[in-house]
Structure 1
Amino acid sequence: MKIPSLRRPQWRHVAAELFLVLAVGGGSLAYGGVLRGWSWLYPVLVVLIATVAGTLLARAFRWHPVAVGLAGMAAWTAGMDSMFFRSSSLLGLIPTAGTLGAAREALDQAWHTVAYDAVPAAPNVGIVALTAGAIGLIALVTETIALSCRMPAVSGVAVLAVLVVPAVLKPESVGATGFAAAAAGYLGLLATAGSAYASGSAAERLAAALSPGRFAVLVATVVAGALVLPQVIPGFDAGTFPEGSRLQSLGQNVGLNPLISLGNDLRSSNAVGVLTYATDSTAPVYLRTVTVEDFNGAAWGPENHDDQLQRPITQIVNSAAGTGPTTATTTVVTTGGFTSPYLPAPYAPQSLDGVRGDFGWDPADLSVKGAPASSQNQLYVVHSTMPQLTPQALSAAVTAPRGIDLVAAQVPKGVPANVRTAAEQVTQGAATPYARALKIQAWLRTFQYSEKTPVEDGYDGTGMDVLSTFLTKKSGYCIHFAAAMAVMARVVGIPSRIAVGFAPGHPTGQTVAVPASKSLPEFQVDGKDAHAWPELYFQGLGWVPFEPTPTRGVLPTYAFTDTAGPGGSSNLDNLNDGLRAAPNKGGATPAPSAPAPAPSGAREAAPWIPAVLVALGLLALAVVVALPAALRAAQRRRRLRRGLRGIWEELEAVGVDHGLPPGPADTPRSYARRLSAWDADGGGLHRALDTLTTAYERHEFGRPGYEADEEAARHAVAVVHEAGRRTQHPVRRARIAALPPSSFAWLTRARTRMAPAAEAAGARMRAALRRVLHRLRRPKD
């Protein structure tokens, strides 16, 4: 490929490139809320503008489209180096071997952020570099599709890719600003990309591009698509884009960090079943996945203890267990579509049997963890023990805690003044840790439960600033109540942590048969049962759960402070009705009313989910297979509408498809004679080729003003195409129809054009190498 020397630049693509920056850069504004603050926006825009500037300069000097893409890639690399890898790059712009190592470290940091941080995530170097690099590459792909391939409408798919991440992760979806900017940029790109190749002055091209008719059609198409697509595509929430755009997964997805989607699950308009469990416990069962102990920093999440995991999970040792009497329970868990590296289990598990895959248990909190998404479609039995907790035993636990992680006892840095003051005032006069815990829980249960107020008032998430605002607003959901009680407990000397998992759920009316045991009543846990609660440590008893969230979960019998008393349920949605059933005189657990016949095991996930996934995979494969043929059909239609010159180009494309491409020395008449070798119907092909060739020669080489019969010319091309098909074997005919060679002719042309430049570069390199070897061999004086 020969890259032309510098010539007078032409800036006819400036408008399209500026609209491209608006579409992609404006869409990236929607990442506010996915990443915390706005410090990440500057490097993202620098990489984006550098990438587009590289392609714009290459187009201004009329480089080949392949060279334009390479120029954009080089500019993208320079932008990434200048922003993130300057110390390991040559002159701060050119990558070196050290740059690759730095990039690998940044990707590792980004992966850890995705896996273990909550939304909005901290804008560290890794995640910002990943975001900036992805935005820059999306801009390059958009530019290539819109200008090099001249398909600006299709480039909207790349612009949409920018909006997918915030649409899925943010409760408020993309937001009006990001969507409006991306839509405006895309409409402008549609209007100006095609006119960049038109003739006339810049003002004339812009006027033609922004004609009222074209603008009206574009706006009508976008509005219609925004209204219709969410109604016909499965998986969208109710409403129009962007507010109704947050995709719901096939089965709830809690993800790698349960804190990420806790609020989203609670705010979900439909309670989709996540998992089921059956238990012989006479008390409500909370299924716990993981805990959070470190309350320092701006956002909280589970710590990465992968290097401390122990195996096997069939023998779990609880080093923080109490010394008093315990109660053993058996629970059968079916995870279904629950997606997480953590396995939900009642606390404190002693063993898990029947788990598929490589899992280990964390000695710090007894959570069971495997690979990402390894929790799906698991069926296992959990044997767990819990100390027999009574108010008397908790009141007697006054010994200083020992034998636990020091992080759980340390007061975190930067506790706001109102949090510390509230903890001291609320617990004033309480003589024991248990009495202080009850007073904190009772005070928090006077607050208002709300899943929307934190989002509307901008304090949704975790961290000390969020906690301070929550105590001021006195309204939030479980994560805020649990965090407030955990931090306030540490302020008054009680070790604490936050447990994340699921509230007890509701009975299904069915039972599950367990070998060598009786049938156990089954319960279902929905997305709205996603929950967080505090666990406080009492010496001699271990970690004790409390329930400070009003109207959610179930108050433990040892921690009743509400006037409703032990017999009432604290869940206003009646999700936990029937969980307080007491044991009968024989000690057996009463089954739910009207139980269905016991199945042989826990129910499996919905059988239609694999079928849908297979269907989507087959559909994607069909689209990929049909793409070359669809591209060839579009090329044919476009050529046949361009008059005799386009019709002749279609004739040459037919020849390429069927193995007779035109040669560089072919005249129209000589090429027609070569194609006439396909004639097998006694002269029909000869007549069609003669008609088309005569019309084309008169149009190209005759007097101006010749009016050809274009319909007859198109018919002649159809005759040639059918004659070429008849000469092919059926298998080759099918291959030509699926993968027409003319659709990929531009690759051959690009290779041909690049060959002289590659050969010249190789010759220069060989000559330079010979000179170096000659100097090395020359004897020294």
Structure 2
Amino acid sequence: MSKLLSGRATPEPGHDVGRGIPSEPAPKLLGRPQTGPARWVLAASVFAAVMGTSLSLRGLVVDFSWFPPATLVVACTLLFPALLRRRLPLSPFAPVGALLGWLLGLTLVFFPGTALLGFVPTPATVGAALELASRASTLIMTNNAPVPSAPAIFFLICAGLGFAALLIDTIAITVAMPAASALGLVLIMLPAALTTKAGVGTVGFMAAGAGYLLVLGCCNWYAPEGKIRSASMVQPTGILSRAMALGAAVVLLTALLPAAIPGFTQGSFPQGSRLNGPSGVSELDPMISLGANLRQQSNEVALTYLSNSTSAHYMRLSTLEDFTGKIWQPASFDNSLDPGLGQLSPAPAAGASVPSLDTLTVISTPNLASEWLPAPLSVTDVSGLDGSWLWDPERQTIRSSTSSTAGQQYTVRSKMPRLSRAVLSTASAASGAELDPVFSALPANVPPIVGTTAREVAGDQQSPYAQAVALQDYLRSGAFTYSLDTPVQDGYDGSGMDVLAKFLDVKSGYCIHFSAAMAVMARELGIPSRIAVGYAPGASTSARAELDGQTLNGFQATGRDAHAWPELYFQGLGWVPFEPTPARGSVPDYTQDDTAAAPQASAEPTVAASATPTSTPSATATAAAVAAGGASSTTNRWPLVSGVSAALLLLLATPALARMVVRRRRLGQVRGSPRWGSGLGGSGLADTGLAGTADALVAWRELVATAVDYGYDYDPALTPARHAEKISRMLGRSDPGGLALVLSSYEQAAYGKAESGKNSNGAPGNDELADALETLLARLKTTATPWQRFRATFLPPSFLTRP
């Protein structure tokens, strides 16, 4: 032994003396190499990782009905490669087996009627799969998350999870790149991260992190370098404990930081924002199916407002008037329009002979992000807006290509004619030159059921108004039902003439179907029409404010108030709202009786101010009114600062804490204390007080790791004797006590043959070995520089490297 420490290396078992190049002999492995248990453990780890990560998809679909079939498909995908790995020569073909299992699993779950024996695909199976995939694509294109539960969506999710399992199994086991298997888990989380407001979520992310660590650990234990081995051959490498400590810290920090740091929940691209608009706000996009928004929105307040009316307004954002395309959407906005929003003149408007009602509304949109500005019908003036906004007088909408409604507070004045049955009964439809032809145009492919139904419902009614009321009453009759799900289940969700025909046949749908039906049937009868998209009258609140001598009453609209309704044009009166959707909004008074009445909740406010305000409300008054309407208060920043500080401290302390735990566990094992996780077992000496094989190996590993922490440059090509020489020079002594004992114990455990009950050359006692190790560790610390001691304590290099 003294020769070893003096630099004269002697051959050790496993050395090639002739070549003179030392090589590290492999520790003795007991047991016969069998792949039986290992392949199942590997398959189970991939299965757990995939299904755990799939929890991140909880916000994509309205419920978890897809989970059981997905479990079966993923299990089938992983079963076949595990079976092939039973024989090592067949292991390279595991990806082919995974592909086969994936296809058979999908066939068994979704297309048993088209398959041989219920699971063998046929050409008919391929056709059915393509049809289901096409249906899923349509649902995705016409819906925002959460999408409805439908077989097509289930098929897409199951196929995606099965493919992810195939990818992870191939990369981690066959290609022997377990770290790169994270790609498969990221693919699973990506849809939720991009399309849902909540993003991946804490549960989904933590499950993905735990699954990834599980795959790494199992591949390191059971399939190093892609070679599967049995549990009896498994040795602890130390990588798992470090990976688990680091991974757990990262997962914990990632779960805590989004709640503490504004950048995760605010800004231009927060998690789950769908790359458009701030997180945590409602979003009503008129360019997509309104049904998707209704299924997505919650009871979160989208906007609040105060008005000199005693009834809530319909808040318009945009209009749909071009019914010629397959998908109906707002017309493109002309950027050459006058950006000024003062003294607006809605055109065409009501005639001078018709009495009008002037309304003042102060609107706050703290939780609504849209390029379209919510406002009542017939706006005449808007003030207090931030950003650049354009007014379209023909459609009476306000839009911006550079600004958003998020966080806006503004004042709107509007002028609405006092409508009644008597006034409307004498009105006629617009002349051809009075309106843009787009408000009357119909495509050539209008289904016959639309015109036939319109004429049957109108019957012998002569006036446009009477015909409009007949259409509204027909759609609100008991023959039709309101449903968000039926159009999706029966395949006619969205817009277009084919959708409208199916709706009139099935007689079930939601606001976009009812409003479209009335608007198109009105055009069939010669009445110009359009569809308004925005918010139905919300609920009143207790907020009150005084402005310019008028009392303003508080109201609010939530995401569930998202709505669409038709507006029909009458000469001399302008655009008049109707409400054909049952169980939504309220029927206008001017469609119910002969009593002349002011506009009401379903159209415009019923109570007018004594006089139109003569001056624009001051900034102070407007701010006070909006605050009374429920503007958010300033957030206390102390929880934010505390959370960030705690998270940073935890991050900085992670290496030190993990290294301390590992050191104490190793020292306890060497001294003979109860231990866990060694995976090696002892040599039968635990009860005698003698150091066992595992104890000696752990002692050597801790000595080298501590030396690395204090600056030792570890070279895996050197023999233990050469390492001992270099560590001896670090200690500054020619014959340091205890080093020879630790080295000889390691060499004996790694290369020697153990007899029953004790080592052939005599094993040191646990206390003796532990005392020697602790002495060496203490001497390494005392001989180190202050910087080396600081680094060894707080940034130990052995935490990330395996000596």
Pair in the same fold by TM > 0.5: yes
What secondary structure does 1:322 align onto? Answer: coil
What secondary structure does 1:415 align onto? Answer: coil
In the alignment, which residue of structure 2 is the partner of 1:503?
536
Alpha-carbon offset, residue 437 of structure 1: 1.6
In the alignment, which residue of structure 1 is the partner of 2:723?
671
Alpha-carbon offset, residue 647 of structure 1: 5.8
Letter paired with 2:531: I
In the alignment, which residue of structure 2 is the partner of 1:100?
none
Deviations 1:285-342 (A, max 9, x none): 1111222234455544445x36637463534755633251444322111112223333
Structure 1 residues 190 and 729: CA distance shift in structure 2, 3 A:
closer
Contact 1:320 1:404 in 2 (8 A): no
Contact 1:27 1:162 in 2 (8 A): no
Take 2:792 and 2:213, find their aligned partners in 1: how far apart are those partners?
Answer: 36
Task: Pick from 466, 472, 476 the counterpart of residue 509 of structure 2.
Answer: 476
Contact 2:54 2:161 in 1 (8 A): no
Letter paired with 2:507: K
Pair 1:424-2:431 in alignment:
no
Q: How does 1:611-626 map to 2 (within 5 A)?
A: none
Take 1:306 and 1:116, find their aligned partners in 2: how far apart are those partners?
Answer: 24
Alpha-carbon offset, residue 546 of structure 1: 1.1
Pair 1:322-2:349 in alignment:
yes
Contact 1:513 1:601 in 2 (8 A): no
Task: Pick from 450, 461, 468 the counterpart of residue 482 of structure 2.
Answer: 450
Take 1:289 and 1:462, find their aligned partners in 2: how far apart are those partners?
Answer: 19
Pair 1:461-2:463 in alignment:
no
Alpha-carbon offset, residue 508 of structure 1: 1.3
Take 1:741 and 1:471, find their aligned partners in 2: how far apart are those partners?
Answer: 72
Alpha-carbon offset, residue 566 of structure 1: 7.4
Structure 1 residues 630 and 509: CA distance shift in structure 2, 3 A:
same
Structure 1 residues 735 and 352: CA distance shift in structure 2, 3 A:
farther
Take 1:652 and 1:734, find their aligned partners in 2: how far apart are those partners?
Answer: 18
Structure 1 residues 420 and 24: CA distance shift in structure 2, 3 A:
farther
Alpha-carbon offset, residue 487 of structure 1: 2.3
Alpha-carbon offset, residue 443 of structure 1: 0.7
Query: In the comparison of the two structures, how many residue pairs are matched?
Result: 609
Pair 1:253-2:305 in alignment:
no
What secondary structure does 1:342 align onto? Answer: coil
Q: How does 1:514-663 map to 2 (within 5 A)?
A: 514=547, 516=548, 518-560=550-592, 582=607, 599=624, 601-602=626-627, 603-605=630-632, 607=634, 643=694, 645=697, 648-649=700-701, 651-663=703-715
Take 1:114 and 1:724, find their aligned partners in 2: how far apart are those partners?
Answer: 65
In the alignment, which residue of structure 2 is the partner of 1:385?
415
After TM superposition, the structure 1 stretch with the greater mean CA deviation from structure 2, 579-588 or 272-281, is 579-588
Structure 1 residues 506 and 319: CA distance shift in structure 2, 3 A:
closer
Structure 1 residues 266 and 19: CA distance shift in structure 2, 3 A:
closer
Contact 2:312 2:601 in 1 (8 A): no
Contact 1:361 1:369 in 2 (8 A): yes
Letter paired with 1:484: A
Alpha-carbon offset, residue 116 of structure 1: 11
Task: Pick from 346, 356, 364 the counterpart of residue 334 of structure 1.
Answer: 364
Letter paired with 2:300: V
Take 2:54 and 2:433, find their aligned partners in 1: how far apart are those partners?
Answer: 54
What secondary structure does 2:503 align onto? Answer: helix
What secondary structure does 1:441 align onto? Answer: helix
In the alignment, which residue of structure 1 is the partner of 2:379?
349
Q: Which fold has the larger relative contact order, with Cα–Cα distance below 8 Å and residues 6 or more apart in sequence?
A: 2
Take 1:376 and 1:712, find their aligned partners in 2: how far apart are those partners?
Answer: 71
Task: Pick from 181, 197, 207 the counterpart of residue 223 of structure 2.
Answer: 197
In the alignment, which residue of structure 1 is the partner of 2:29?
none
Structure 1 residues 335 and 140: CA distance shift in structure 2, 3 A:
farther
In the alignment, which residue of structure 1 is the partner of 2:303?
275
Gaps in structure 1 of 5+ consecutive residues? 1-9, 35-44, 62-67, 69-109, 122-131, 175-181, 209-228, 235-245, 589-597, 750-781
Q: How does 1:75-474 map to 2 (within 5 A)?
A: 150=178, 158=186, 161=189, 164=192, 168=196, 197=223, 251=280, 253-257=282-286, 265=294, 271-281=299-309, 284-296=312-324, 299-302=327-330, 305=332, 308=335, 310=337, 312-315=339-342, 317=344, 320-325=347-352, 326-362=356-392, 365-370=395-400, 374-394=404-424, 395-402=426-433, 404-412=435-443, 414-447=445-478, 448-451=480-483, 453-454=485-486, 457-459=489-491, 461-464=493-496, 465-474=498-507
Q: TM-score, normalised by structure 1?
A: 0.59
After TM superposition, the structure 1 stretch with the greater mean CA deviation from structure 2, 634-643 or 654-663, is 634-643
Take 2:346 and 2:598, find their aligned partners in 1: how far apart are those partners?
Answer: 34
Structure 1 residues 535 and 197: CA distance shift in structure 2, 3 A:
same
Deviations 1:319-372 (A, max 9, x none): 633251444322111112223333322223344322234444456634333469
Deviations 1:675-710 (A, max 9, x none): 456669x99x95564443222121223335547878
Alpha-carbon offset, residue 633 of structure 1: 8.1
Take 2:280 and 2:59, find their aligned partners in 1: how far apart are those partners?
Answer: 25
Take 2:57 and 2:624, find their aligned partners in 1: how far apart are those partners?
Answer: 51
Deviations 1:640-693 (A, max 9, x none): 65545566455444444432221366432443354456669x99x955644432
Gaps in structure 2 of 5+ consecutive residues? 1-34, 63-72, 90-94, 96-136, 149-158, 202-207, 235-254, 261-271, 614-622, 666-675, 681-693
Contact 2:60 2:192 in 1 (8 A): no
Structure 1 residues 354 and 701: CA distance shift in structure 2, 3 A:
same
Contact 1:23 1:159 in 2 (8 A): no
In the alignment, which residue of structure 1 is the partner of 2:121?
none
In the alignment, which residue of structure 2 is the partner of 1:485?
518
Deviations 1:53-101 (A, max 9, x none): 9xx9xxx99xxxxxx9xxxxxxxxxxxxxxxxxxxxxxxxxxxxxxxxx
Pair 1:696-2:746 in alignment:
yes
Structure 1 residues 539 and 743: CA distance shift in structure 2, 3 A:
farther
Alpha-carbon offset, residue 378 of structure 1: 1.8
Take 1:487 and 1:194, find their aligned partners in 2: how far apart are those partners?
Answer: 66
Contact 2:388 2:400 in 1 (8 A): yes
Letter paired with 1:290: S
Contact 1:653 1:661 in 2 (8 A): no
Take 2:310 and 2:387, find their aligned partners in 1: how far apart are those partners?
Answer: 31
Letter paired with 1:408: F
Letter paired with 1:314: L
Contact 1:327 1:386 in 2 (8 A): yes
Take 2:777 and 2:557, find their aligned partners in 1: how far apart are those partners?
Answer: 62
In the alignment, which residue of structure 1 is the partner of 2:153?
none
After TM superposition, the structure 1 stretch with the greater mean CA deviation from structure 2, 472-481 or 649-658, is 649-658
Alpha-carbon offset, residue 548 of structure 1: 1.0
Q: TM-score, normalised by structure 2?
A: 0.58
Take 2:320 and 2:186, find their aligned partners in 1: how far apart are those partners?
Answer: 38
Letter paired with 1:667: T
Deviations 1:230-274 (A, max 9, x none): xxx99xxxxxxxxxxx99998552254475565664787x73322
Take 2:433 and 2:769, find their aligned partners in 1: how far apart are those partners?
Answer: 93
